[in-house]
Structure 1
Amino acid sequence: MKIDPTTIRKDFPILNQRVNDEPLIYLDNAATTQKPISVLERVAAFYQHDNANVHRGVHTLANRATIAYENSRDTVKDFIHASKRQEVIFTKGTTQSLNWVAKGFASKILKPGDNIVVSPMEHHSNLVPWQQVAHETGANLVYLPMTKDGRIDLESFKHVLGPKDKLLAITHASNVLGTVNPIRKLADVMHQNKGYIVVDGAQAVPHMPVDVTDLNCDFYCFSGHKMLAPTGIGILYGKFDLLDQLTPQEFGGEMIQTVGDFQSTFADLPYRLEGGTPNISGAVGIKAAIDYLQSVGMTEIASYEKKLTDVVLPVLKTIPGIEVYGPDQRTAVFSFNITGIHPHDVATAFDMEGIAVRAGHHCAQPLMRHLGIDSSVRASFYFYNTPAEAKHFLETIPVVKEFFGNGLI
């Protein structure tokens, strides 16, 4: 269906407020998205009617909670087109998912002299775990070549890849540049080299259709709170045979099969990796979020956000004194700097106009160094943002420049 943001916004009550006596324009969606009424009501209904611990309970509420929790797993499986429900593991978020792959899988297959390949555009969550694994295993951390406009140089990657390159950890979409990486092509190259690919999908899953089977990635990680769901819930997808090799990182209840006095055996997937009481309400919430996204349509969301990008980017790049980072083909994420004004001052000035943007290094300090800057302003859009909001954002930039006495740039 065609997206009507005016109608959609009625589902997001938080957007209907004033900030500093101005209508709120929320452009911090890369950090976290707002939640529709259907998600809020579904989580509340769980606590009001079905709250109990999952799995081994035999009473009615426990059965309801278990059914809701496992239905959520099935919904995620279908949403990302996983082959088996056992390939969907509930975690706290992208960060935990990536850490589990690093510690529970990569640390077992890497040996001294092997290479872990990353890109300069990685979020710290998809870099720091690999730094730690490299220290622990004796592997090397190697950075992919990147073009000046912030894309992976695929041909150079193919040329430099060697037998020591055992694992590629790569973002599907950059949280700073908006770059969408060619995951299937990268996966094919890695697999031809008998390597593995781990994908950070936090900035992709909310904004475009994702088919992990078609991407042929080995592991894929994402967070609920960036796709309308509550905080504290995320997904680790892995190919079954590889996920089955992943050593649990948390030990205790629910993940065991038998417990003896001195040793234990562990449950089958997926439960072996979900020790302790899980975030049941978060799982319920991510199902409700997926249901909402599917009612709108992921293809439609991607198309609508492209239209917003086509409105914002050409104008942003023509404003005097503005440096914009990233390629022309991108998600609706725009990182930029205004000459002579610190990003935090810019963000504060936007906030005075009711516009929520983010300023800082965006958990991507190596990328900041690569770009030759310390920080930037970031405006990130979602499908509930309107063209009028995009226009007002652009019109506010000269106001910000004038406020700081920078109007002649």
Structure 2
Amino acid sequence: MQSPNQVEAQITRLIREDWGRLLAVLTGFGGDLSLAEDCLHDAVVAALQTWPTAGLPSAPDAWLITTARRKAIDRLRRAQTSASKAEALAFWQWQNAPEAEELQTLPDRRLELIFTCCHPALDEKSRVALTLRAVGGLTTSEIAAAFLDKQEAMAARLTRAKKKIASAGIRFRLPDPEDLPGRIDGVLQVIYLIFNEGHRGSSDQLTRTDLAEEAIRLVRILSSCLPDHLETKGLLALMLLTDARRLARKGPSGAFIPLEEQKRSRWDRGKIREGKHLVELVLKAGPPGAYALQAAISALHAEAPDFASTDWTQIVALYDLLWKLKPNPVVLLNCAVAQSYATDPSTALEQLEATGAGQHLQAYQPYHACRADLLARQGRWKEAMVAYDRAIVLTEAPEEVAFLKARRKTAASFVEPGS
């Protein structure tokens, strides 16, 4: 018999790993995303109340689906105030949906869920945020961190987005074949943000493997559906090349290891080979998009036998091309890092500050960590300490906090007492 704490931990894991799959199944039953999410939440509450004493059911996901479906039926029954055809149809759909136990396996309808959340009737930011919540199972605070937004503003945005889906009559289905290419860009942006949350999460974990692998799986599905869409291949290449370095980012004790100190023997050569092959295909097929350019940059890192051998001049050139396609402060920041190795840190910092990127990135941890590193490499130790302090405040992953504190301690060792 498992302890209540063990059961609660398993419920938390199930919610984190399978939220998107469960929500997609429920939405598929009745076509109502908001109702499905509310009832899945109710089912989770019921599980937290029941499972610690009754024990885990043999199929926890099926238990949650069945419980949520029954709660949806109860809600619809209580809400029926007229005999409208819409109400009758909604009630019939939920009432006649199969019990989860009747299904051989739970159907995977996350792709339909993604396209529903990414419908053009929603503004771009709401599409991304809603899909991160519905499919990725991210919390509102995690989504707000991904957007550099306040949590309250993001919560309001998510509520408005779900109401918009209901009021606009957006159906839970894949787009028609002729509409699919025009809808793909927003979907790719969603998947990339899910991957980023998994690779470098805003939560207290340095990596969330489940989200990174889920993003790779989803973009593989899209690539198979759209074999001629180059940016889909570019995004898959970028994620594979980035994820290939995952194991090398943490030491035996769990400490964060920066790129320059990583053991490249720990990089996943299989993912690197696949990623480089995709980059070559995309670059030969036509002008590269933003994802393909970022993948090409990652490929240059992967090809270098060591950090010192990296072709920084070529990386700067690729960032210049990326800036022309996607001008934003984060691109400038990454270009400054590459420039600091292609030329020197002083020139890179001057160029970065001249762009005014810092005005838009005060709440962005990598900006302050980058400035701290550039200042430290110039021997400007006091200024580096201030930048490290700001970066530490904005960092949640304990491993990264420890890394930044160690760098700050090194900077402090060069400052004379009382100076």
Question: If the length of structure 1 is used for normalisation, what is the TM-score?
Answer: 0.24
Greater relative contact order (Cα 8 A, min sep 6): structure 1 or 2? 1
Name the structure where helix makes up a greater proportion of residues. 2
Question: If the length of structure 2 is used for normalisation, what is the TM-score?
Answer: 0.23
Q: Which has the larger radius of gyration?
A: 2
Name the structure where strand makes up a greater proportion of residues. 1
